[in-house]
Amino acid sequence: MSATITTEMPILRVEHLSMKFGGLVAIGDLSFDVRRGEITALIGPNGAGKTTVFNCITGFYKPTEGMIRFTGREGNEFLLERLPDFQITAKAKVARTFQNIRLFSGMTVLENLLVAQHNKLMKASGYTILGLLGIGGYPKAAAESIEKAKHWLEKADLTDRADDPAGDLPYGAQRRLEIARAMCTDPELLCLDEPAAGLNPKESLALNALLNDIKANTGTSILLIEHDMSVVMEISDHIVVLEYGRKISDGTPEEVRTDPRVIAAYLGVDDEEVEEVLIEVGDEDVIEQLDTGPDADHGPEASSSMLAGPVNDTVVHGNGERVTVEKGAGKAAQVKPQQVAGSTAARKPAAKAAKAKAEPAPKAATPAKQAGAAKAAKASPASKAAPASEKPIPAAGKGKEAGISNRLPAARGGKADDLQLIKGIGPVNEKKLNAHGIYHFDQIAAWKKADIAAAEAYLAFDGRIAREDWISQAKVLARKAASAPATRRGGRK
Ligand SMILES: Nc1ncnc2c1ncn2[C@@H]1O[C@H](COP(=O)(O)OP(=O)(O)OP(=O)(O)O)[C@@H](O)[C@H]1O
């Protein structure tokens, strides 16, 4: 099928998509557009259904219901749910990367980029030995492939590593190589599953630059799943938010970050990072009012559900929306926005309290900076808690938790390292780690498999310590701390 193409026409239109696994509705009646030439982010808490959406788009799963309409540059239209996966790549020109890196680690960086163009080269060879021997279009196609590989090596800042085995690259470079490899297939739509997972801040910036370059210079549209809000908010033109397989918000980064339903769903982070995200969002009213303690029905220190504050609570947002949280619904579904007249007047003094917690902000501080200051104040264990040396260390406990081998009774010299400099550790996790006798980067750097398992059991994580590579981050920070032992660094991770 073919149509007259306009830039307004979305490259991908997902309509009433549902995916059921037995009795589990992983995706329920989901509709959204991926606009041509833009970066669209799909975010949501763990298990919200993001990867399932990707798997439906790329043909790994056949959806239970719904349509996925792809319209290419030439007006060529495909219903992806009807195509086998190899045709989705070949015909519709949809490329994807995965949560876990899937490179040919024994091949060189350059070879990885050439292998990605195998189909084109085989076609040019006419699938005959004569073609490979240089008769026909093969030599020209081979030269073009090398040129393309060189182009993407440069874009991904990997030229100097071209001859190294892909498996020897640092993590962030491997992520960029995966994207470069996908780009060598000339995709019209590039689907990236958590491209920033495990990257350090410098690597995240390099990733942002690469994705912005792709957007600006290739016309390839990008759909990405990402938990790292610094990436999502920085580069996305459009964000779709899922919770429990349903869409709860859809709009620009600004619209999404101030949407009360999204704040209730915690912008797709784990329970432990709720506080951190709310501070990042900068809505101090919400931070303060959601910080009113656990819902008695759920018991103390339960799950994220109680972190949304007491049930039947009403929260007034900075933008004047009054939000009522009711019993018995999902976190986002609990939120009912109602406009409140005289929004500023309606704000409670809670904002003042939140600000009072913050360090004095510079004169013309932006809300984001103030939020950062609030974060810094909240993040400082020394300012809130009793000195670590006075804290009781949990007795050698039962189960996995007892296996963290290198706990300390107190921070050395009474001064803990700023564990929040490890990407993935927020104020809540830092507190928990301190409470468990982990105060210093070198302690985390020394963790072995059993320690990681024990820490994950305690933090209720599932593979995140490895995914975010806390150990490598801790090693780097431990080295820095050793060279400047008196300095406790602050600031954003
Ligand atoms: N093949 C499958 N069989 C059964 N259940 C599945 C399958 N794939 C996904 N699910 C379930 O569907 C739900 C959505 O999972 P999905 O992996 O899509 O979430 P996600 O938002 O990508 O999560 P994360 O951010 O943790 O990667 C989960 O409850 C998951 O257990």
The DSSP-derived string for 158-172 is: -GGGTTSBGGGS-HH
Ligand 1 in reach of 334 Cβ (< 6 A): no
Instruction: For residue 268, give the ligand 1 atom closest to its CA.
Output: 25
Ligand 1 in reach of 464 Cβ (< 6 A): no
pTM of the model: 0.58
pLDDT (mean) for 262-281: 57
Ligand 1 in reach of 46 Cβ (< 6 A): yes
Ligand 1 in reach of 50 Cβ (< 6 A): yes
Cα(60) to centroid of ligand 1, in Å?
Answer: 13
pLDDT, greater one: 280 or 358: 280
pLDDT (mean) for 425-451: 87
Mutate to test the pocket of ligand 1, among 19, 24, 243 (most ligand atoms within 8 A of CB): 24
pLDDT (mean) for 331-357: 36
Q: Where are the domains of the chain?
A: 270-378, 380-483
List, for residues 126-183, the tens digit of each pLDDT value: 556 666 666 666 677 778 888 889 999 999 999 989 888 988 888 889 999 999 999 9
Cα separation, 207 vs 93, in Å, equals 22
Cα separation, 115 vs 107, in Å, equals 10
Segment of 60-74, 287-301, 427-441, 449-463 carrying the highest mean pLDDT? 60-74
pLDDT at 346 over 90: no
pLDDT (mean) for 386-395: 40
Ligand 1 in reach of 338 Cβ (< 6 A): no
**Closest Cα to atom 14 of ligand 1:** 49
DSSP letter for 397, please: -
What is the reported pLDDT for 122? 67
What is the reported pLDDT for 348? 31
What is the reported pLDDT for 42? 95
The DSSP-derived string for 292-326 is: S---GGG-TT--HHHHT-STTEEEE-TTSEEEEE-
pLDDT at 376 over 60: no
115-131 as b/e: b if 16+ CB within 10 A = bbbeebbeebbeeeeeb
First to last CA, the chain: 49
What is the reported pLDDT for 193? 92
Ligand 1 in reach of 60 Cβ (< 6 A): no
Ligand 1 in reach of 200 Cβ (< 6 A): no
Distances in whole angstroms, Cα of residue 354 to Cα of each of 325, 345, 373: 21, 17, 10
Two structure tokens written together for 292: 């009113």
Question: Are the CB atoms for 170 and 103 separated by under 8 Å?
Answer: no
**Closest Cα to atom 17 of ligand 1:** 51
Cα separation, 188 vs 182, in Å, equals 11
Please provide residue 427's backbone torsions phi and psi, each rounded to the nearest 5 degrees: -60, -35
Categorize the per-residue pLDDT at 6 as very low, low, confident or very high, splitting at 50, 70 and 90: low
What is the reported pLDDT for 43? 93
**Closest Cα to atom 26 of ligand 1:** 46
Ligand 1 in reach of 52 Cβ (< 6 A): yes
Categorize the per-residue pLDDT at 397 as very low, low, confident or very high, splitting at 50, 70 and 90: very low
